[in-house]
Amino acid sequence: MKILEALLAQIRAHGEATYPEECCGLLLGKSSPEGNHVQALFPVQNRHAEQRERRYTIAPADYLAAERAARQQGLDVVGFYHSHPDHPAQPSATDLAEATFPGYTYVIVSVQQGQAKELTAWRLAMDRSRFEPETIELETQTAPANQP
């Protein structure tokens, strides 16, 4: 996964802002055989009804809004991000059970006592049986503004 350093900083900041609940959002960019190139974020509100400190839900309307925003920028939805408050940046059994988009990038940031720590990227296998670690390749140019 290629991503701007400034976008990783925005993911970390989102995780800290919503602590102790999980944050979530969508990754917008371009997909290629070499991996996803994330060029923008679409932060959304965690819509999970309860246990937001251990679960997240992205509402269908939020997903559709992200798709529209991506299209307007000539991009696609290429993945998701969320935080793990006071837990490691490793996919949980629930993350795997609820993941539905093979080939998408899933970024997880660990937020320990309100401070963003480790950030990892994973790709859902085509058969949805596992997450495979994805290398994060940093870019250094300025990030575009966040979407609403």
- Rg over alpha carbons for the chain, rounded to the nearest Å, is 14
Do strands 105-112 and 76-85 pair parallel, antiparallel, or not at all (unpaired)?
A: parallel
Neighbours of 44 (CB within 10 A): 23
Contact 42/94 with Cβ under 8 angstroms?
Answer: no
21, 22, 53, 134: the active-site residue: 22
Based on the residue annotation, tell me whether 34 is a catalytic residue of this protein: no
Biggest CA-to-CA distance, the chain: 38
**Residues with active-site annotation:** 22
